[in-house]
């Protein structure tokens, strides 16, 4: 039975391609914005949850860049999108608290 033996040049080319496929890493800049302190004590849990969860994927700059005073419906939808579309691992109770905090503060 005949066997296929790859020429050495092909082996080197394939090995080089695998090395190029390795993921690159980049140093992330320090965040320049912080989450605003909650305006009401009742939103302290949302503030804490936002710091613990949201900044896992993006900085507080992202929140600060959103249109101001969009209200609770906007932030409810944004937090729901982060959980459902982007698969943010946030429990429902925390997501509700985050949306309430963002709606009242931003």
Interval 63-97: pLDDT, tens: 999 999 999 999 999 999 999 999 999 999 999 99
By the 8 A CB rule, do 97 and 30 touch? no
29-48 pLDDT tens trace: 676 789 999 999 999 999 99
Q: Residue for token digits 């969009």?
A: 70
The pTM of the whole model exceeds 0.85: no
Domains of the chain: 43-105 (1.10.760.10)
> Which one, of 71, 38, 73, 35, lies nearest residue 52 by Cα?
35
């Amino acid at each position: 039975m005949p066997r296929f033996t790859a020429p050495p040049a092909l082996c080197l080319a394939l090995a080089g391609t695998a090395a190029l496929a390795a993921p690159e890493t980049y140093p992330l800049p320090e965040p320049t914005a912080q989450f605003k302190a909650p305006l009401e004590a009742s939103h302290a849990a949302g503030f804490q949850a936002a710091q613990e969860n949201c900044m896992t994927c993006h900085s507080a700059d992202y929140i600060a860049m959103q249109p101001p005073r969009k209200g609770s419906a906007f932030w409810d939808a944004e937090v729901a999108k982060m959980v459902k579309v982007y698969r943010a691992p946030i429990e429902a109770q925390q997501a509700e608290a985050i949306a309430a905090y963002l709606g009242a503060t931003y």
